[in-house]
């Protein structure tokens, strides 16, 4: 039998390591140390509130077991059997150790180590080949060569806009002056996206290594990681990783004995979405309100404290070391067209298997949603998927087979964004979802420029009017006009992209808007003002369950006789609809 590697993921390892400790003890008790190894894992590709065990090389995954079942599971592992009742049915959908894997369709570059090492132990990162690329960069390459390599790899910013990373570095390097800064943007604010957080928590050194290489190539002495204060665990792990890198001489003065000096510090965000925008981010690091400023001047000319600065996001940084190590031609062989490499997506919403995935650029949405994420929850009908967060757009079913890359997404009115992928099913109302995103964008607008501040509010008011049943066909044109003004006149990407979800919904789901406006109907029942609940007398057997569930007691009737809903009192919570076992309640 091959050696067995057991990866244990526990929801809150700081509090409980019961499963890990148990397995380690078992291995020691039975003297199996040379055959079975147990590791702590911080990310396993599935989201759960209970521990998960994953065993390599067979890639068996166990979940939903109790502590007392562990003995049985351990026996099975040590004798090469499986315990079927705890097997995770999605086991084949999660990719094993890095690189291309034929049956899962995933390809791991950024997530290469996430889940396979202890992020708080620098030795494990080094054992897996970490900091080799940095050594190569500092001792065997000239800064110009590094930049050329990154440029030729075709790597583009993974924060969403897709600007060439190598070009950004080159522009900053060419600027005169001694003092330059490198920044890692870890202000991941899109609702429904947690790619960066997983990388920072699961493999912080990959980001640090990338930044050191970047700092060396461009000629910086100082770097900053701007991270959300909402990610305390990521902050803690980064602090530890930075400290151990300093201890090993990988950061600080004369790195690895060379004459290159470089250090990285953390700066916390404070809960402002707009600070993900680069000029606002720099204002925030400088200790000011996070208001964006017009570009030019670009950060590469005048950035942090008016010095040349270049900013890349977490995922971009995590790509750097593999590119330097394996070369630009390896990287550019992955992907399609002008979109090279892979992209990490956080697939959430109505899918069976929500989680983090990494796929080569050019993978289709159908492969992502159905093959990797297991399809729609409850086998309902797919309606749309939102990419790009609040500044992206909805993609309807007809584009499911389209390749996911920067250009294609833009051509159909959405955008790559940072990688949130929210799947919606037939129960979701597009107008309601638009309202949600607008509320978000209006809340997060910094208020500096009027197109964004006033336009966003007007859009939200108009859409709220429609969901309340007071819409007018003229409103659709009004929405289009305001949207155009915002796109053209807003100062930063936040305002420019705020109308995107609405515009794409109008493009692909216009009939839903029209239904809300002219028929005053919301077929999904999400817009409560437009819904009426009534009881179908022929189907009602008078069991009284709905009357019991009703929070406002507006359902009445005699036992075993059809009941009645008082429409004036009804708050349209939908409890009766959900509780009736005889489908006797009609929603219209």
Residues that bind another protein (CB under 8 A): 46-49, 188-194, 197, 224, 229-231, 265, 267-273, 284-290, 305, 346, 348-350, 354-355, 386, 389, 420, 422, 424, 428, 433, 436-437, 440, 446, 551, 573
Q: Of 147 and 446, which CB lies nearer to another protein in the complex structure?
A: 446
Q: Of 257 and 378, which CB lies nearer to another protein in the complex structure?
A: 378
Give the span between the Cα atoms of 115 and 93, in whole angstroms. Answer: 16
Q: Of 117 and 281, which CB lies nearer to another protein in the complex structure?
A: 281
Q: Of 137 and 555, which CB lies nearer to another protein in the complex structure?
A: 555
3-state SS assignment for residue 100: coil
Give the span between the Cα atoms of 81 and 74, in whole angstroms. Answer: 10
Nearest to 191 by CA among 419, 499, 453: 419
Instruction: Note whether 163 and 170 are within 8 A (CB).
Output: no
Shortest distance in whole angstroms from residue 433 CB to another protein? 8
Q: Of 77 and 433, which CB lies nearer to another protein in the complex structure?
A: 433
User: What are the beta bridge partners of residue 357?
Assistant: 345
Other Cβ atoms within 10 Å of 278 Cβ, number: 26
Shortest distance in whole angstroms from residue 309 CB to another protein? 12
69-77 long-range contacts, CB within 8 A, separation 24+: 70/19, 70/22, 70/23, 70/26, 71/26, 74/23, 74/26, 77/4, 77/6, 77/36
Shortest distance in whole angstroms from residue 140 CB to another protein? 33
Give the span between the Cα atoms of 412 and 393, in whole angstroms. Answer: 9
Shortest distance in whole angstroms from residue 76 CB to another protein? 27
Q: Of 120 and 230, which CB lies nearer to another protein in the complex structure?
A: 230
Shortest distance in whole angstroms from residue 89 CB to another protein? 16
Shortest distance in whole angstroms from residue 436 CB to another protein? 5
Shortest distance in whole angstroms from residue 578 CB to another protein? 11
Instruction: Note whether 360 and 335 are within 8 A (CB).
Output: yes
Give the span between the Cα atoms of 343 and 181, in whole angstroms. Answer: 26
Give the span between the Cα atoms of 13 and 18, in whole angstroms. Answer: 9
Q: Structure tokens of 16? A: 């409980």
Q: Of 420 and 499, which CB lies nearer to another protein in the complex structure?
A: 420
Shortest distance in whole angstroms from residue 252 CB to another protein? 16
Query: Quick check: bond before 341 cis, omega within 30?
Result: no
Give the span between the Cα atoms of 298 and 568, in whole angstroms. Answer: 58
Q: Of 271 and 337, which CB lies nearer to another protein in the complex structure?
A: 271
């Amino acid at each position: 039998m091959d050696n067995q590697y057991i990866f244990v993921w526990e929801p809150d390892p700081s509090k409980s390591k019961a499963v890990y400790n148990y397995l380690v003890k078992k291995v020691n008790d039975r003297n199996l140390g040379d055959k079975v190894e147990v590791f702590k894992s911080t990310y396993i590709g599935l989201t759960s509130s209970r521990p998960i065990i994953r065993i390599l090389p067979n890639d068996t995954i166990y979940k939903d077991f109790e502590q007392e079942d562990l003995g049985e599971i351990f026996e099975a592992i040590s004798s090469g059997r499986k315990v079927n009742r705890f097997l995770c049915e999605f086991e084949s959908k999660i990719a094993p150790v890095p690189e291309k894997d034929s049956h899962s369709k995933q390809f791991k570059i950024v997530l290469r180590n996430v889940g396979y090492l202890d992020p708080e132990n620098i030795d494990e990162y080094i054992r897996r080949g970490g900091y080799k690329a940095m050594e190569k960069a500092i001792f065997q390459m000239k800064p110009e060569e590094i930049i050329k390599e990154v440029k030729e790899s075709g790597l583009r910013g993974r924060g969403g806009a897709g600007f060439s990373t190598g070009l950004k570095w080159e522009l900053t390097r060419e600027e005169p002056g001694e003092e330059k800064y490198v920044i890692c943007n870890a202000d991941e604010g899109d609702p429904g996206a947690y790619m960066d957080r997983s990388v920072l928590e699961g493999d912080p050194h990959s980001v640090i290594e990338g930044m050191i290489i970047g700092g060396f190539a461009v000629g910086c002495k100082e770097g900053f990681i701007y991270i959300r204060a909402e990610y305390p665990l990521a902050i803690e792990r980064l602090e530890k990783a930075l400290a151990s890198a300093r201890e090993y001489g990988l950061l600080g003065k004369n790195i690895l004995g060379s004459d290159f000096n470089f250090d990285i510090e953390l700066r916390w965000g404070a809960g402002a979405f707009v600070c993900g925008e680069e000029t606002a981010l720099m204002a925030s690091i400088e200790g000011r309100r996070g208001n964006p400023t017009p570009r030019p001047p670009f950060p590469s000319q005048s950035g942090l404290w008016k010095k040349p600065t270049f900013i890349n996001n977490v995922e971009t940084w995590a790509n750097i070391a593999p590119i330097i190590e394996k070369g630009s031609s390896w990287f550019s062989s992955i992907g399609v067209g002008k979109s090279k490499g892979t992209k990490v997506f956080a697939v959430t919403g109505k899918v069976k298997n929500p989680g983090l995935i990494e796929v080569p650029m050019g993978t289709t949405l159908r492969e992502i949603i159905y093959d990797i994420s297991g399809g729609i929850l409850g086998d309902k009908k797919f309606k749309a998927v939102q990419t790009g967060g609040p500044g992206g757009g909805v993609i309807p079913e007809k584009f499911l087979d389209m390749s996911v890359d920067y250009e294609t997404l833009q051509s159909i009115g959405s955008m790559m964004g940072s990688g949130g992928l929210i799947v919606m099913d037939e129960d979701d109302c597009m107008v309601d979802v638009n309202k949600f995103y607008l509320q978000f964008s209006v809340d997060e607008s910094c208020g500096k420029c009027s197109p964004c501040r006033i336009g966003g509010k007007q859009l939200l008011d108009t859409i709220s009017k429609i969901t309340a049943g007071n819409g007018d066909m003229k409103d659709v044109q009004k929405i289009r006009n305001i949207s155009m003004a915002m796109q053209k006149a807003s100062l930063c990407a936040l305002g420019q992209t705020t109308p995107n979800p609405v515009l794409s919904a109008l493009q692909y789901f216009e009939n839903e808007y029209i239904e809300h406006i002219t028929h005053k109907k919301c077929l999904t029942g999400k817009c409560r003002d437009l819904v009426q609940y009534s009881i179908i007398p022929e189907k009602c057997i008078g069991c009284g369950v709905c009357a019991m569930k009703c929070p406002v007691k507006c359902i009445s009737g005699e036992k075993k006789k059809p009941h009645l809903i008082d429409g004036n009192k009804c708050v349209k919570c939908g409890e009766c609809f959900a509780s009736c076992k005889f489908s006797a309640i009609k929603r219209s």
